[in-house]
Amino acid sequence: MSIRPTGDLMRSHRTPTTNRSHRSHRSHRSHRPRTKAAGALAVGALVLAAACGNVYEASDKGNGGQANGTTGAGAGASGGGNPTGAVEKNKLKQKNPSTQPGVTDDTIRVGGVAATSNILKMPVDQAFNGVQAYFDMVNSEGGMYGRRLELVSKRDDQMFRNKEEAQGLVSQDNVFAVAPVATLLFTGAGVLADAKIPTFGWSINPDYGGPPNLYGDKGSFLCTSCGYPAQSFVARENGISKVGLITYGVDQSKECAVGMKAGFERHKVAEVVFTDDTVVFGNTDYGVQVQKMKAAGVQMVVTCMDSSGMINLAREISKQNADIIQYLQTGYDYDVLADYPKEFEGSIIMTQFVPLEFAQRPTGLDNYLKWIDKIPGAKKGEISLGGWLAADMLYRGIAMAGPDFTREKVISNLNQVTNWNADGITPGWDWTIVHEAPMPVSCQSFSKILDGKFVPQFTEPKKPFVCFNPDEPLPDEPRRKAGGE
Amino acid sequence: MTDLLTYILRGLPIGCVFGLLAVGIVLTYKTSGVLNLAFGAQAFVSGCIFYALRSEKYLGWGTFPSFVVAVLIVAPLLGLLLDIGLYRHLRTAPAVAKLVTSLGLLVAIPQVAKLFIGTASLSNPPGLASDTTVQLFGIDLSTNQIATMVITAVCVGGLLAMFRFSSIGLHMRAVVESPRLTELTGVNAARVGAISWMLSSAFAGLAGVLLAPLFSQLSEFDYFNLLVAALAAAAFGRLSSIGLAAVGGIALGVLQKLLAGYLPSGNVVSTGLQGSLPFLVLFLLLLFWPGLRKPREMADPLAAVDPPPPPPASTLRDRRLTIATYVLGTFVVGCGTILTFTTLDDFYLAIITKGVILSIVFLSITLITGIGGQLSLCQATFCGVGCFATAQLAAHTGMPVLVAAVLGAAIAAVLGALVALPALRLGGVYLALATLAFALMFETVIMPLDAVSGGSVPIKVPRPRFLGINFRDDRRFFLLCVASLILMSAIVLLVRSGTTGRILHALRTSETAAASIGINPARAKITVFALSAAIAGFGGGMLAIFERRVGRSFFQADLNYFYGLVWLVLVVTLGSRSISGAVNAGLSFLLFPRLLEALGLSQSTAQGVAFVLFGLGAVTYAKFPEGIIESQTRRVLLRLLPREAAR
């Protein structure tokens, strides 16, 4: 046996050719075989191309809504006469044997995924605490159909591994349902949709829209460009006549600005005098934007940005001592407020749940505040409340499905609920609509940041939500309502 | 005051930040010959330490002691550690080897820091000064911004003076040129090198602390993004002029504000130009800035006194050993495929399928880096191009998705050739920087376009039917992926052993010598760039088919530029010159963190530890350019054949 330089090394001494005649001779010699080879390759490619086709999933072609037969009256639906998903607790005591995945003799296993270690450092793992608090409440009352609800899996998708973790929930954790999904990217939506597993989460991603088994706490269909009248109403009530719009230079953010601008133009309450839809994601310095807004007389700025962008903008507004408030569509976060009370002073935040500071709290919110305090390390706020709402949907779905509950029954029953409000926490979502379209009437609640606290605005006794029909002119006195009313 | 003047003044603070970072990069390069891409990571570490010490949420120390510990103690110690542990041994190594080492550190250092910090939010970072606002020439600036400007001015002046007037400055430059020659004059090269690293690392620490108040919370990605802008400024300074680098940084900051002030809103050019300005400037400077056209590689004139290095182990091969390797490889692949197909659950099936697809993508790194000798940092981008091209073609034309994947590969190849064309004049680290700039431009400006990534709702991608076989089933699709990997491996092997491979081998050995015997380097480089882009693009197409839904979030999650860097680091660690290196890297990328989880680590810790090990593996590149695993394997095999090897 001998060790010798590889062919590569040996051949590199011989070739490439060292003189022109040799090269041209070689080139001439190899010309015809190369032509033939190219021809053969082309013919082969054509044959292979002809042998190719596509295979579509049922949910690939349509919008998913009815594609797999889990919505509507099929699969043992019985929720048609229960618009809010109300639960008769005395009926939860019956225990029947079950062969459903994730259901044992004494537990209903549930798993969740959150971007616990995300690069934005958002405390999204608080959604687990919300689910756990809800399960503790249910289990303290005897559980469901003779079984305890158990959160057996808390996966961390680290923001970038959502699909893998979703697959893990489906095929490794033996869970009946998925709750919560509290992730910044939801690339695993397809996996969960295809597995037809009931899935409930904190919805900030458009990926929830479509599949009938994915449920977001704000409805599954997120319409960023709808141009709701809410911000015009806020402007009017605050005596604001000039507004600014700032978005990132990416389409999703810009779509939001288009919707906002359309809303202002339609209701003619305030004029959009400054727009910047070219901000780079990750931008830290809004000096020029604030300077221009000051010059244009902007009184309120509407942003379609993440919390980091909102904070940096607020810091610059504060630094330039500009008399501009922000209209925030996300960010009901006590930690951010504690860090930047001065910067956000006077800003308005819109939520689609009853603010925790609302005086006449609905039952659902009282329960949340009572049980979330019992979880070590839990923080009150939008995200843990999102987990609570996810658990509430699951609970109602199982309850409506009856003692012989299955995944299909849970989905089909929930999809007939027309006013899900979690005992008054949300305005009321119609699951026959909001998988694929927005609610015809949109309801929100508003809080103003004053002295470092969220202070509910525009409310009436027991009625925290303000409702608008996007197709109608802005009313002088919009309808107020309680959650689920 | 006119708008123009206020925009210029507003650009100064952020420009000083760019300048400060650029000066730090130039300082490192001047004093160590290393284009330190881990500079941002070092800055991040000091930023974190300062935060932990200063913030009331943690220790709540005063500003001065926190500054002393973070910038004057920890940062220099980190520099000393890097010098003693790594860069001292790389002083005369090729620039590309140093760059790969710094890439490994870029990946590893923040992960080490995060293992200590955990997942807690480091929000509202404090600065050196208070955050009160003062008026300067009619505009409002925070005292932190003023401090940044003052410190930048002092540092630039101090460094210029040190290099011009002090003996240590002269010694630092001399040690970079030739440590041996310097030692002949009685200077302790090791000590001077250590001082250089401690100084530059302290500079990184200073930048990290000064930068912190810019962000709403500390994140290593923010530091790296600013570093790219700083690289443009450093390129303006030709990586050698501290003054020009500072001026370049300030100019870039001012230019950003002028664009923000004057460009109209609501048009594509404005969005694109603002988003890509630092990357565009870096790209253009690399291509056209006279000082960078003929980069000077550091080479010790006394290097010849060393015995020649032993040939890479992979160039010594016994025929029977090669045959045995192929037989064993075939056996392992065959058994692995059968086991995966028959026994694994859907979770691991999905992971391994994706690992196989990533192996295809990593073959593109084998081709361009292992065989072509070029360092491309945009292979993830080409993968993304293939991915979205496949998805769009299949979704909008109804084209068979496998044909779409091939066309996607062709589109990626064209793009690869277009990137290679202007970058031909560059080599080594400059080519790497140009490809990084391209990757960031694509991610920031091109990928978000609806026409590319399909808008906010992901594009649905069908599974293929081929020769009458339906690949909707995940297990069948896994087999298709394995077949594709074998096909792509065969193509890479053919290229390696064919004319192109031999030309590339000759170019890698000596471009001048190769040109003297009639080889056209430009054509060879374009060919290898295009081919590697095509393979990455085809891998991207397979990834799209595997995922079934692809959109912006998928790109951000799986194909972002940072993952592209990790991929490169991993492949060069495990073997950039062999097919097995790419396959090992593809599978390790996904399976290794799972293995660590199985050993009891939490998910985030496991991922962090994996990245640390991947990164630290790359620092061995200079010593084992064929990959540490490949090298050790060969070493063991050679030990088994001592007599023949000796002969």
Q: For residue A56, which residues of chain B lie inside 8 Å, CB to CB?
A: 462
Please tell me which of the candidates A16, A162, A206 has its beta carbon nearest to residue B456.
A206
Q: For chain B, what is the radius of gyration of the CA atoms? A: 25
| Mean pLDDT on A296-301 | 96
User: A372 to chain B, minimum CA–CA distance in Å?
Assistant: 20
| Mean pLDDT on B413-421 | 91
Q: What contacts A425, CB < 8 A, 6 or more positions away?
A: A353, A354, A362, A364, A365, A368, A385, A388, A389, A392, A483
Lowest mean pLDDT among A302-306, A382-386, B288-292, B406-410: B288-292
Do B63 and B54 contact (CB within 8 A), yes or no?
yes
State the alpha helices, DSSP H only, in B442-520.
450-453, 474-497, 499-509, 511-516
CB contact under 8 A, A16 and B470: no
Interface list for A 264-303 with B (CB within 8 A):
275-282, 284-285, 287-289, 291-292
Q: For residue A278, which residues of chain B lie inside 8 Å, CB to CB?
A: 260, 263, 265-266, 270-271, 274-275
A80 pLDDT higher than 70: no
Q: Would you state the pLDDT for residue A86?
A: 92
The continuous run of DSSP H or E covering A301 comes out as: strand A300-304
Q: Would you state the pLDDT for residue A71?
A: 40
A77 pLDDT higher than 70: no
Q: For residue B401, which residues of chain A lie inside 8 Å, CB to CB?
A: 52, 54
CB contact under 8 A, A3 and B647: yes
Please tell me which of the candidates A20, A119, A121 has its beta carbon nearest to residue B123.
A121
Report d(CA A80, CA B307) in Å as an integer. Answer: 86
B324 pLDDT higher than 70: yes
A242 pLDDT higher than 90: yes
Report d(CA A313, CA A303) in Å as an integer. Answer: 9
Please tell me which of the candidates A4, A52, A280 has its beta carbon nearest to residue B466.
A52
Do B285 and B292 contact (CB within 8 A), yes or no?
yes
Question: What are the structure tokens assigned to A322, written together?
Answer: 């500009």
B43 pLDDT higher than 60: yes
Q: How many CA atoms lie within 13 A of B250 on its CB side?
A: 16
Q: For residue A279, which residues of chain B lie inside 8 Å, CB to CB?
A: 274
Lowest mean pLDDT among A237-241, A347-351, B130-134, B642-646: B642-646
Report d(CA A272, CA A142) in Å as an integer. Answer: 55
Among A355, A385, A381, A383, smallest CA distance to A456 is for A355
Report d(CA B296, CA B290) in Å as an integer. Answer: 12
Please tell me which of the candidates A187, A320, A335 has its beta carbon nearest to residue B140.
A320
CB-based burial, A268-293: b 16+ in 10 Å, e otherwise = ebbbbbbbbbbbbbbbbbbbbbbbbb
pLDDT tens digit sequence for A87-136: 998 999 999 999 999 999 999 999 999 998 877 778 899 999 999 999 99
Beta bridge partner(s), residue A52:
B466
Please tell me which of the candidates B142, B462, B466 has its beta carbon nearest to residue A319.
B142
B315 pLDDT higher than 70: no
Q: Would you state the pLDDT for residue A4?
A: 39
Which of B117, B141, B321, B456 has the highest number of chain A CBs within 10 A, making it the mutation to test binding with A?
A: B456
pLDDT tens digit sequence for B107-165: 899 989 888 877 677 888 888 887 788 888 878 888 888 998 999 899 999 999 998 89
Interface list for B 533-552 with A (CB within 8 A):
547-549, 552
Answer whether the bond into residue A16 is a cis peptide, omega within 30°: yes
Q: What percent of chain A has pLDDT over 70?
A: 84
CB contact under 8 A, A308 and B602: no
A452 pLDDT higher than 50: yes
Q: Would you state the pLDDT for residue A280?
A: 78
Sign of the Cα torsion B196, B199, B201, B207 reads negative
**What count of other Cβ atoms lies within 10 Å of the Cβ of residue B643?**
8
pLDDT tens digit sequence for A306-345: 888 899 999 999 989 999 999 998 889 998 899 899 999 9
B300 pLDDT higher than 70: no
Report d(CA B573, CA B613) in Å as an integer. Answer: 10
Report d(CA B507, CA B492) in Å as an integer. Answer: 18
Residue A53 phi/psi, 5° resolution?
-155, -175
Is residue A320 less than 8 Å (CB to CB) from chain B?
A: yes
Report d(CA B555, CA B549) in Å as an integer. Answer: 11
User: B459 to chain A, minimum CA–CA distance in Å?
Assistant: 9
B12 vs B467, higher pLDDT: B12
Report d(CA A139, CA A374) in Å as an integer. Answer: 14
pLDDT tens digit sequence for A1-52: 333 333 333 333 333 333 444 444 444 444 455 555 556 666 666 666 667 7
Please tell me which of the candidates A55, A122, A275 has its beta carbon nearest to residue B266.
A275
User: B282 to chain A, minimum CA–CA distance in Å?
Assistant: 17
Q: What percent of chain B has pLDDT over 70?
A: 92
| Mean pLDDT on B207-228 | 86
Interface list for B 404-433 with A (CB within 8 A):
406
Q: For residue A280, which residues of chain B lie inside 8 Å, CB to CB?
A: 274-275, 444
Q: Which runs of E-coded beta strand occur in B263-340?
A: 316-317
Q: Would you state the pLDDT for residue B533?
A: 96
Q: Would you state the pLDDT for residue B482?
A: 95
Among B582, B588, B589, B573, smallest CA distance to B624 is for B573
Interface list for B 125-154 with A (CB within 8 A):
133, 139-142
CB contact under 8 A, B463 and A55: yes
| Mean pLDDT on B471-479 | 92
Please tell me which of the candidates A57, A186, A251 has its beta carbon nearest to residue B553.
A186
**What count of other Cβ atoms lies within 10 Å of the Cβ of residue B509?**
12
pLDDT tens digit sequence for B547-604: 888 888 788 888 888 889 999 989 988 888 889 899 999 999 999 999 999 999 988 8
Report d(CA B405, CA B389) in Å as an integer. Answer: 8
Report d(CA A298, CA A286) in Å as an integer. Answer: 15
The residue type of B449 is L
| Mean pLDDT on B605-622 | 86
Report d(CA B329, CA B471) in Å as an integer. Answer: 26
Interface list for A 452-471 with B (CB within 8 A):
none
Question: What are the structure tokens assigned to A83, written together?
Answer: 């618009």
Burial of B18 (0-12, 13-18, 19+ CB in 10 A): buried
B401 pLDDT band (50/70/90 cuts)? very high
Report d(CA A435, CA A412) in Å as an integer. Answer: 13
Is residue A251 less than 8 Å (CB to CB) from chain B?
A: yes
Is residue B607 less than 8 Å (CB to CB) from chain A?
A: yes
Q: For residue B458, which residues of chain A lie inside 8 Å, CB to CB?
A: 190, 207
Beta bridge partner(s), residue A340:
none
User: A293 to chain B, minimum CA–CA distance in Å?
Assistant: 11
Report d(CA A414, CA A83) in Å as an integer. Answer: 9
Residue B14 phi/psi, 5° resolution?
-70, -35
A416 vs B616, higher pLDDT: A416
Give the distance, in angstroms, between the CA of residue A16 and the centroid of all CA atoms in the same chain.
Answer: 58
Question: What are the structure tokens assigned to B322, written together?
Answer: 């090669």
Report d(CA A89, CA B624) in Å as an integer. Answer: 68
Q: Would you state the pLDDT for residue A451?
A: 95
Q: What contacts A296, CB < 8 A, 6 or more positions away?
A: A242, A244, A273, A274
pLDDT tens digit sequence for B478-512: 999 999 999 999 999 999 888 888 888 888 777 78
Is residue A182 less than 8 Å (CB to CB) from chain B?
A: no
Beta bridge partner(s), residue A248:
A279
Please tell me which of the candidates B449, B470, B505 has its beta carbon nearest to residue A55.
B470
Q: 3-class SS at A216? A: strand
User: B216 to chain A, minimum CA–CA distance in Å?
Assistant: 6
Q: 3-class SS at B262? A: helix
Q: Which runs of E-coded beta strand occur in B104-169?
A: 133-136, 139-142
Q: Would you state the pLDDT for residue A30?
A: 44
CB contact under 8 A, A288 and B7: yes
B221 vs B483, higher pLDDT: B483
Long-range contacts of B397-401 (CB under 8 A, 24+ apart): B398/A54, B400/A49, B400/A52, B400/A53, B400/A54, B400/B464, B400/B465, B401/A52, B401/A54, B401/B461, B401/B462, B401/B463, B401/B464, B401/B541, B401/B545
Interface list for A 7-46 with B (CB within 8 A):
7-9, 11-12, 15-18, 20, 23, 45
Interface list for B 553-572 with A (CB within 8 A):
553-554, 556-558, 560, 563
pLDDT tens digit sequence for B236-267: 988 888 899 999 999 999 998 898 888 887 66
Report d(CA A64, CA B462) in Å as an integer. Answer: 15
Chain B, nearest residue to A120 by Cα: B219
Is residue A377 less than 8 Å (CB to CB) from chain B?
A: no
Burial of B512 (0-12, 13-18, 19+ CB in 10 A): exposed
pTM above 0.90, yes or no: no
A141 vs A79, higher pLDDT: A141
CB contact under 8 A, A16 and B506: yes
The continuous run of DSSP H or E covering A480 comes out as: strand A479-481
| Mean pLDDT on B161-186 | 84
Q: Would you state the pLDDT for residue B370?
A: 87
